[in-house]
Structure 1
Amino acid sequence: MAASSSSNNLQPQLPKFTGKNYNQWSIQMRVLYQSQELWEIVESGFQEPKVERDLNQRLLQELKENRKKDRKALFFIYQAVDEIIFERISTAKTTKEAWDTLHASYKGDDKVKNGTFTNPTKPI
C-alpha cells in the first residue's frame, strides 16, 4: 500500500529532444503530461489576473494550483531538451509559450527529413 502513495513522487524518465524526431518526442511528452495531469496547462495555458488582490479565496487557490502546474510542466520541458534547444525556450514565461515555440520551430522538420514533404507549388 505504501508503494501506491509513493508512486506519485517518482520522477518520470524524460525523453531528450536534441532537434531531431520532434514528432516522436512531442508524443512522448504529451503522454507524460497527461499522466501527470498537466496537459491542459501545456496545451491551453492559463490566464494570469490583472489584479490578484481582487480574487476570492477559491480563485486564489485555483491560480496558485495553475502556477504550480505550469512550473512543474516547464521544469519537465527544460529537463527534456538539450542545451542548444534550452536556449531557444529559456525566456518563455509559461510552458505553453515554450511548447508553442518548439512546435513552431520543429513540427515540419520530420516531414522534410523523411522525404515525405511535398512542395505545395509543385504539381504532383
Structure 2
Amino acid sequence: MNLNSFQCPMLTATNYMTWAIRMRVLFKDHKVWDVIDPGSNNAEKNDTAMAVLFQAMWEAIKTRNQGADRVKEARLQTLMTEFEGLKMKEFETIDDFASKLSGISSKSVSLGEVIP
C-alpha cells in the first residue's frame, strides 16, 4: 500500500467531527476500518491502520512544531537585539547590570542558543 497516494486530514483543536469522518472514510477505503471498530488481530491491517493514523498525527505535530520554531526564532531575535543594545546606566550597580545579562543569557539558553 502506498500511503503517499492520499492526503490525511489534520486534526486540530476545532475539527474533530470532520476529521473523524474523513479518517473513517480513509480506513474504509483501505479496508482497515475493522481494526478501529470493533478491533482486529490481523497484523497487516493493524500496521496499515497505524500508518494512516501516524501520517495524520505527523502532519499535526509537524505544523505545531514549525509554528513553535518560528516563535522561538522571533524570541531569540528579540533577545539578541536586547543584548546588543544593552548598556549599563550611570545609576545602575554592577549587580543590577550583571543580573540583566544573566537574565538574557538564561532566556537564550532555554531557547537553545548560547550567546558567545
Which protein has the bigger helix share? 2
TM range (shorter): 0.3 to 0.5
Output the TM-score relative to the length of structure 2: 0.45
Output the TM-score relative to the length of structure 1: 0.42
Higher relative contact order (CA 8 A, sep 6+): 1
Tell me which structure has the larger Cα radius of gyration: 2
